[in-house]
Amino acid sequence: MAEVTLEMDSQIAADNILEAISPDNKPLPDGLALSFSKENHIIRINVQSRRGIDSFQSTIEDIMSAIDLALRVTHSVAGGSKRLE
Q: Is there a domain that residue 2 lies in?
A: no
Strands in the chain per DSSP E: 2-7, 32-39, 42-49
pLDDT number for residue 1: 87
Total number of domains constituting the chain: 1
Q: Is there a domain that residue 56 lies in?
A: yes
User: Which residue range(s) make up the domain with 49?
Assistant: 9-77
Q: Is there a domain that residue 4 lies in?
A: no
pLDDT number for residue 23: 62
The CATH number of the domain where 64 resides is what? 3.30.310
Q: Is there a domain that residue 21 lies in?
A: yes
pLDDT number for residue 43: 96
Low-confidence ranges of the chain (pLDDT < 70): 23-25, 78-85
Q: Is there a domain that residue 17 lies in?
A: yes
pLDDT number for residue 24: 57
Q: Is there a domain that residue 39 lies in?
A: yes
Tell me the pLDDT tens digit for each residue of 44-68.
999 999 999 999 999 999 999 999 9
pLDDT number for residue 40: 94
Longest alpha-carbon distance in the chain: 42
Residue 12 burial (CB count, 10 A): 11
Q: Is there a domain that residue 85 lies in?
A: no
Q: Is there a domain that residue 32 lies in?
A: yes
